[in-house]
Amino acid sequence: MILVTGGAGFIGANFVLDWLAQSDEPVLNLDKLTYAGNLENLASLQGDARHVFVHGDIGDAAMVAQLLAQHQPRAVLNFAAESHVDRSIHGPEDFIQTNVVGTMRLLQSARAYWQGLDEARRAEFRFLHVSTDEVYGSLEPTEAAFTETHKLEPNSPYSASKAASDHLVRAWHHTYGLPVLTTNCSNNYGPFHFPEKLIPLIIVNALAGKPLPVYGDGLQVRDWLYVKDHCSAIRRVLEAGRVGEIYNVGGWNEKPNIEIVHTVCALLDELRPKSDGSRYQTQITYVQDRPGHDRRYAIDASKIERELGWKPAETFESGIRKTVQWYLANPDWVAHVQSGAYREWVQTQYSGNETP
């Protein structure tokens, strides 16, 4: 069995679904079910004995210790995190509690469990920490992409909390010998993405006839990674990654945000044209830029390809088409995820921020 934390969220749920589609090894899924954790993401696993869900917090050391002792997993994969930059700007404390304190407590629980295993199982055990390229800071337009040796220069409360968790994972390996692996990924997109992030927000707002908010000039550059490619990379790192190493996971798809928005609009024009014949791009609205907005992220994913033979299967063109098609095919999921709290958040974040 493996223990997955945060397995009801966007990336975590995709990982659990992909894992059980390719393996009969059971998954113990621990999720706090905050606003972005959604059991509906895992509806297809109802009644599947291979999936054991527990509602709980990685910071609850007694509960985690009990789960580890009861289920005896061979690996812990930590997806649990607060992850939205805008929310971290408005309320950083939740990010410190989950991403820093929660990760530290999870590491302590995993360490105590690992130390109690017999020699063979100690050698097999892994703690895989899922992190982000945002810990590296921002790149100038002509700078080389982030490698695993790039220094950490986080610029938002979110990325600072993730950088802190990365340092803790490294320290628990070097100080205590805990067999850890860390992955730093670029911007994920795909099914089950909570519609506060760029791509699902644009899809949902476009279909609802609402403005499509674009920060500043829209020329912020990100590398885009289809979530199922990310899941395959994590499986590969767990399988064959060198203990103590960091692996950057990217899609080799650097694109400015405004190009992403235009691509989504064009796909919607094709797949769900408006009855009046107008184009979705007419809904684009430029809004005031977020404070301290990083200009460019780019991942150099050469190491994971060179050492582990992994590279993404999807191009951006194939992945974004699959993503738009998924949202069009799952209107009930979209409707259910848009709770009152979510609508209030979008209202607070974007209303009154329009720029001329």
Annotated active-site positions, please? 133-134, 158
Q: Tokens for 59? A: 């910071």
Q: What are phi and psi of 168, to 5 degrees?
A: -65, -45
- Give 159-197 as a DSSP string: HHHHHHHHHHHHHHHHHH---EEEEEE-EEESTT--TTS
Residue for token pair 């990365």: 166
- Residue 238: strand, helix, or coil: helix
- Residue 63: strand, helix, or coil: helix
- Tally DSSP H helices, then E strands, for the chain: 14, 12
Q: How many CB atoms lie within 10 A of CB 344?
A: 10
The answer to whether the beta carbons of residues 323 and 191 sit under 8 Å apart is yes
